[in-house]
Amino acid sequence: MAKARDRTYRARDVFAANMKSLRVSKGLSQERLASLARLHPNYVSSVERRERNISIDNIEKIANALAVPIAAMFATPTKKGD
């Protein structure tokens, strides 16, 4: 029997994966995203690598730089075929 934890996603992991996916789909480098969000490139890189516990203010900056709603940054992945 699967544990409930097996079916959950950590917000930091989901955010980082969505951030990278959106960044790549828009053809942005980490450096360009950092510039658009007015954040340091090293910070953006560490967020994408799941090393940072990002603040709500910086979540907003990144979502705005990617031109997506904040909720899109936390959309959980779906299985193929869903």
User: Are 58 and 39 in contact, with CB atoms under 8 Å apart?
Assistant: yes
Q: Is the pLDDT of residue 1 over 80?
A: no
Contacts of 6 (CB under 8 A, 6+ apart): none
Give the count of domains, the chain. 1
Give the Cα-Cα-Cα angle 18, 21, 26 (nearest 5 degrees).
Answer: 125
Q: What is the pLDDT of residue 76?
A: 84
User: Does residue 76 lie in a domain region?
Assistant: no
Residue 82: predicted pLDDT: 40
In a domain, 55, yes or no: yes
Q: Reply yes or no on whether the pLDDT at 10 is more than 50.
A: yes
d(CA 72, CA 18): 8
* CATH of residue 38: 1.10.260.40
**41-76 pLDDT, tens digit each:** 999 999 999 999 999 999 999 999 999 999 999 998
